[in-house]
Chains A and B, each alone.
Chain A
Amino acid sequence: MSGKDEAELSRLMRAAIAGDEKAYADFLHRIAALVRGFARRKIVQGGVDPEDVVQETLLAIHVKRHTWRQDAPVLPWVYAIARFKLIDAFRRRGRRIEIDVDDIAETFAEPETETVSERDINRALDGLSPAQRSVVSAVSVEGRSIGETAAKFGISETAVRVSLHRGLAAIAKRFGQGRFGRE
């Protein structure tokens, strides 16, 4: 089962690096499911939202995909990144709980309904330049294509691609430094 997964995922990732977007989307969805399971198993106590770890891991996989050797298995690479991001999330959360008393009060005061707005990635998104933020939002949340986004903002497709790429890289960097748009 795992061996079959490995072969299939390696194949998808190689296709993705060769430029197959369909294969890349397929790869990322399957990796998201695997990492979600991993994060839920590892996070037994609260404090860290498994989905934040999933998103940080996916971003790291994306911006660091040049570190994967195409002749090496892909799953050990994926899990090494997921583990690193999980530990990072725990360390960061520990620190924040120690320092940031207001945050805790806020968390207790609010009803536990919609957690989407509290995602780490949203805070990281807020820290982007307005141009990058609107492009990243258009392509992700609004689900627009590169072409549609270009038309919406009246800019070239190349400009959309550049803003998207830089925006994603900036979010990944903020995660790496433990910054989320506010210090």
Chain B
Amino acid sequence: MRTDDLIKALDADASSKAMPLQSAWWLAAGAAAVIAAVVFLLTIGPRPDFMAAAHTMRFLSKFVFTIVLAVSAFALIRALSTPGASTGRAMVWMAAAPALVAVAVVLELFMVPEALWGTRMVGSNMMTCMGFIPLIGLGPLAIFLWMLRYGAPTRPVLAGAAAGLLAGGLAATFYAAHCFDDSPLFVATWYTIAIAALALLGALGGRFFVRW
């Protein structure tokens, strides 16, 4: 087939429509949040003293970390799924959540006596944390990987990892409402491991599933 012939075929198909990728991303984010919320409420649900806890800094700080991660990963994945879009600024913003966690960890080390560091870090929920963040994030990750196929990521592995971080940020936001371990030492350790697992899974998905 000559290239001119191919162009005839493409032109004849010009009227076929698809939702603009950027709009589709918002739809996907909404669907992912709903799925994560349903899984969360059907399994572990929020902790009973949620309203009282909402007045403590440590409890609230968890949401700052996870929401900042989700928002920055959302910006990054939208750029990575669009060919030619610049990703530099979005990549820099990805450092925001880890930087906030790092600051909180330093503050915590100053405020808490050394003898308690270990207890704070190990907490009482680490297995729940490492189990349920990936579990809640699995549905959103599937949606985001499917969205990457709908888009056109020229760096599929990186885009897949970003999908995992976005799913992780979203899932961790819900999980944080359940967990009694509010210390930044706990968050920096176990949330990181759980979210990294999703990022790894996302990168693998990007490598083998996101082809276009």
Contact = CB atoms under 8 A, between A and B. Distances in A.
B55 interface: no
Interface of B, secondary structure class, is loop
Nearest to A56: B6
Given A21-B14, A67-B151, A141-B1, A79 B84 contact: yes
A77 B85 CA distance: 7
Contacts of A173: 211-212
Interface string A51-87: 1001100111011111111001100111111011000
Interface residues of A, number: 53
Contacts of B21: 66-67
Interface of A, secondary structure class, is helix
Nearest to A141: B5
Contact of A59 (B2, B6, B22): B6
Contact of B11 (A21, A78, A122): A21
A16 B20 CA distance: 14
Contacts of A66: 18-21, 24
B14 A19 contact: yes
Interface in A6-53: 16, 19, 21, 24-25, 28-29, 32, 51
Nearest to B15: A19
Contact of A69 (B8, B18, B82): B82
B14 A139 contact: no
Interface residues of B, number: 32
Contacts of A178: 211
A80 B13 contact: no
24 contacts: A21-B14, A21-B15, A25-B7, A32-B3, A59-B10, A66-B24, A68-B82, A69-B20, A69-B82, A76-B84, A77-B83, A77-B84, A79-B84, A80-B154, A84-B154, A119-B1, A136-B9, A139-B8, A140-B6, A141-B1, A141-B2, A165-B13, A168-B9, A176-B211
Interface of B: 1-16, 18-22, 24, 81-85, 151-152, 154, 211-212
Interface of A: 16, 19, 21, 24-25, 28-29, 32, 51, 54-55, 58-60, 62-69, 72-73, 76-81, 83-84, 116, 119, 121-122, 125, 136, 139-141, 143, 145-146, 161, 164-165, 168, 172-173, 176-178
